Amino acid sequence: MILALASWQAAGQSSGHQAASASTNPEPPRRGGLEAFTKAPPFTQAQAQKGRALYDAHCAVCHATNLGGGAAERPLKGRAFMASWAQGRSVGELFKYIKGNMPPEKPGGLSDEDYGAIVALLVQENGSNPGVDPLPSDYQALVALRMPYAGTTSGGLALGHRLPPWPRSANPAEGLTPVTDAMLRDPQPGDWLTWRRTPDGLGFSPLAQINRENVGKLRLAWTYKFGSGANIGTPLIHDGVMFVQAGSDSVHALDAATGESLWRHVGNDDARGGKRNIALYQDKVIVGTSANSLLALDAKTGEPVWETKLGSGGSGGPLVANGVVIQGLGRGAIRGEGTCGNGGRIAGFDAVDGKMLWSFNTIPQPGEPGVDSWHDLPCANRNGAGVWTTGFFDADLDLVFFGTGNNYDNAPFGAVGPQFPSTGTGLYNNSTLALNPRTGKLAWHYQHMGGEVWDMDWMFERQVMMLPINGKMVKSVVTMGKPGILDALDAATGQYLFSIDTGLQTMVKSIDPISGAKTYDPAMVPGGVSKFICPLIHGVKNWLPAAYNPNSGMLYQPQIESCMTMDPAQPGSFGPFSIKVDFHIAPRPNSDGRIGRLQSFDLRKRRLEWNVRERAPWSSGFLNTAGGLLFTGSLDRQFSARDDRNGKILWHSRLADVPTGAPVTFSIGGKQYVAILTGFGAAITTGYLELVPEIGTPAKADTAVYVFSIDPK
């Protein structure tokens, strides 16, 4: 029954299969409740005996009769268990985790008294003696109790002895102000409230205390380790509190000035990679989980408020627009019999209670516009259009903008796809979708590259900005797909405006200047013989977000130079594209070994500007500030600050792990900070290792946050 409970012990962190069922109590050694550490929680012998019978019936098959662990599960008693659990942690934390996750076939299927009895057994088996007072089965009562404090060399605090008083640290979470729609649209300069700070996705901060002249004095202010594993997330900061979803699904609130832990919501230790974004709205932190759900937590305490099952996953994380939580869903949103395909969805939920308000199918269903764009392909063969990057929002237009991915099964397009137009084929693959946030109604769509067979997604950020078009300023949506081609669209109508080709791809021969339709090179269509094609399936551009400076009109984009061979698959294999083709990474022709490319664009003049090419590929997105700085992270563990006029490195620091997600900056008490998360192991950090074999990567990834500032002394 307590399947995978022991995996919650790793690195002194805790996690669970269903995040909403886990405890979120503050770390007890720091905040209150010290008297509770001095004695073991009460329980009776009868409770422990009942717990033994329940354990034998539900748990022993995995964890062994003696609690010593089985082939797949770790022990539930002894030094390893006590080193994690017997450090003054809440009994309520253990109780709530077990109740919320076990038995695996029916979590919560036992009574509270039964779960309390199992906890009593664990307490007894780890060295505590029964007494006359029973262990409560009420969660709130259990929160006030702590597992016995057991130091590995001290013998543990003597029972009956009180610790000396210690002043309680100030908790900035207690003073959090609700995050309103107006604040999301126009955040305070010192806050970072959404993935790219503002809902238009620019990745630009008006802070300038740290600038080109003094950035060389940047020093580490504090760091905090969340646990082991890969990470792709970005922290959010509000009123001096930093919120982070770690790679294990755990959610943390930290004092953003000191790094002190304020609360922790236990996640799922089996989760890997996490989400790219979390959301703040009103008094809630809203996250996606590896259990394919949306979870809202109280921002001040970390206590669960609501949880809604999604049916499929989405690694992009949620967007909040006008009180609606909007989540893109990736591959696997399988619908019922008689519906079309296996593809993505975009869904809207009420921020108050998590109830679904609407759902938009990214593969049109019978009776919906676009269903005929698949030509003669049967519904069962229609697939793709997953949504795995966060959406963006323009309040004036009252539209949210999402990108979609490509076909996952290319067999239907393998022979005929490139003969079809690149627009209007297999909707809504590789498209920009503009939706009303309250209803989910489609306002417009634009397909960037339909019917392609190279895994060239157009899934990434949709940045909203004002650009000069035919002598007037037009609100535009700018995005780039994996081929390294940038498209600009009218944000109000979806009308095509212009494209810029970086020149690092070989599959598109030409782009129509009126419609933006791409003409594919037939020689690059895979099949039959080996083809050398650029770029690799990971793309020139991937989900690592670009930064745009609204003052200068300059866009700064992380790109990677690579190519691939697409070879006939082995007999009997359909390969990863379902068209009997395998792929293998290769350097670009005449490559000098530099594959990380910082490419700048002047979007007002519609042209490429300077670029900087380096050996290491990028591993994080970019941050641009009013101080004239561009912050970047790369696979060689370098976190750097650059002059945004030319890309020159002005400061750098080699971290203990690979920087990921995207950097952020914030201010507290008039002092500016810069932060970056680490956590090697996501596909974007592992996909180019063959091209840079000398770059060492961590043997065991650690999800951590590094925060830098300038010491005025």
Instruction: Give the pLDDT confidence of 531-548 residue by residue, as tens digits.
Output: 999 999 999 999 999 999
Distance (Å, whole) CA 293 – CA 419? 40
**Closest Cα partner for 98 from 117, 71, 74, 125?**
117
Task: Extract the runs of DSSP E, i.e. beta strands, from 273-409.
Answer: 279-281, 284-288, 293-298, 304-309, 319-321, 324-334, 342-350, 356-361, 383-384, 392-394, 399-403
CB 291 within 8 A of CB 208: no
**Closest Cα partner for 238 from 325, 303, 299, 302?**
299
How many domains, the chain? 1
**Which residues 6+ apart lie within 8 Å of 575 measured at CB?**
569, 581, 582, 583
- Out of 198-212, 265-279, 624-638, 640-654, pick the least confident: 265-279
In this structure, what DSSP letter does residue 406 have? -
247-299 residue pLDDT tens: 778 899 999 999 999 999 877 655 555 688 999 999 999 999 888 899 999 99
Angstrom distances, CA of residue 176 to CA of 141, 239, 689 = 27, 6, 43
- Note the pLDDT of residue 685: 84
- Note the pLDDT of residue 648: 99
16, part of any domain: yes
- Note the pLDDT of residue 189: 98
668, part of any domain: no
304-328 residue pLDDT tens: 999 999 877 778 889 999 999 999 9
Q: Hey, which residues does 469 pair with through a beta bridge?
A: 472
- Note the pLDDT of residue 15: 32
Distance (Å, whole) CA 473 – CA 373? 33
635, part of any domain: no
- Note the pLDDT of residue 112: 92
113, part of any domain: yes
CB 517 within 8 A of CB 423: yes
Distance (Å, whole) CA 273 – CA 679? 8
530, part of any domain: no
Tell me the range of 376-385, 634-643, 673-682 where mean pLDDT is highest: 634-643
Range of the domain at 51: 6-143
State yes or no: pLDDT of 520 exceeds 90. Answer: yes
- Note the pLDDT of residue 333: 55
Kindly report the CATH number assigned to the domain that includes residue 31.
1.10.760.10
- Note the pLDDT of residue 87: 56
22, part of any domain: yes
131, part of any domain: yes
Q: What does the longest C-alpha to C-alpha distance in the chain come to?
A: 84
370, part of any domain: no
